[in-house]
Chains A and B, each alone.
Chain A
Amino acid sequence: KAGVTQTPRYLIKTRGQQVTLSCSPISGHRSVSWYQQTPGQGLQFLFEYFSETQRNKGNFPGRFSGRQFSNSRSEMNVSTLELGDSALYLCASSPFPSSYNEQFFGPGTRLTVL
């Protein structure tokens, strides 16, 4: 099976712009979770989608949003970018909710906000 893929891998934006990141889960996986990773902050939970519904959301401002399509692919959108949004954004997929079993991570999208 192909692993989790994320596009684009690298992105450079300026403050105030918006960005959309994409995540394609492993075939058959219904759960997609998104995390923000910054040095010293570990993996901060953004949200989890399961069967096209957002099931939980982390402590991030409303500028961060997402959605999941019927084929389980997921997108994450960040509007009005700030310098502090520079980070590695990881998505992870699993057949069941993340709280049940192993998650498989994608390679991440490195976002730089100038």
Chain B
Amino acid sequence: GENVEQHPSTLSVQEGDSAVIKCTYSDSASNYFPWYKQELGKRPQLIIDIRSNVGEKKDQRIAVTLNKTAKHFSLHITETQPEDSAVYFCAAADPNDYKLSFGAGTTVTVRA
């Protein structure tokens, strides 16, 4: 089955700086890669996703890149703000698998 590894587990950045979270996956059949953000005490919410036919996707200050050959994908947050402080989860899915496999999460703290 799919195994997703996520690094780092914690990340502290100065407000205005960039944050990068990296994930690797094991199943070459996976073709859907979402990122979820979970604020303290709240439910996870999708912030961006990418499919294997695309190498990069941007949405304002958030971008995700995918390298299918190396089986890794990354989340980039630019110009970080205090409201970016949260736990971020990457995930990968094989469309035939009826399962979303999540990474262990990255706790991002944005220092004012």
Q: Hey, which chain B residues are within 8 Å of A45, CB to CB?
A: 99-102
Instruction: Pick out which of these stretches binds chain A: B12-20, B54-62, B90-98.
Output: B90-98
Q: Which residues of A contact B32 (CB under 8 A)?
A: 99-101
Known: A40-B104, A41-B104, A43-B89. A107 touches B43 (CB 8 A): yes
Q: Interface-forming stretch among B44-52, B63-71, B74-82?
A: B44-52
| CB within 8 Å of B: which A24-75 residues | 31, 33, 35, 40-45, 48, 50, 55-56, 58
- Beta-carbon contact of B105 and A42 below 8 Å: yes
In the complex, chain A residues whose CB is within 8 Å of the CB of B101: 45
Q: Interface 1/0s, chain B 19-44, versus A by CB < 8 A?
A: 00000000000001010000000011
* Shortest Cβ gap from A52 to chain B (Å): 13
A102 touching B95 in the complex, CB below 8 Å, given contacts A33-B100, A41-B104, A90-B44 = no
| Contacting residues of chain A (6-24) with chain B, CB-CB under 8 angstroms | none
Chain B interface residue count, CB cutoff 8 Å, equals 22
**In the complex, A50→B96 CA distance in Å?**
13
**Contact status B95-A97, CB under 8 Å:** yes
Pairwise interchain contact B44-A42, C-beta atoms closer than 8 A: no
A112 within 8 Å of B (CB atoms): no
B9–chain A nearest beta-carbon distance, Å = 8
Bound Cα distance A90, B51 (Å): 25
A103 within 8 Å of B (CB atoms): yes
| B89 with A99: CB separation less than 8 A | no
Q: Which residue of B lies closest to A59 (CB)?
A: B1
Q: Taking beta carbons and an 8 Å cutoff, which residues of A are in contact with B?
A: 31, 33, 35, 40-45, 48, 50, 55-56, 58, 90, 92, 97-103, 105-108
A sample of 14 more A-B contacts (CB under 8 A), given A35-B102, A44-B102, A102-B34, is A40-B104, A41-B104, A42-B6, A42-B102, A42-B105, A90-B44, A98-B99, A99-B32, A99-B94, A99-B97, A100-B93, A100-B95, A102-B49, A105-B43
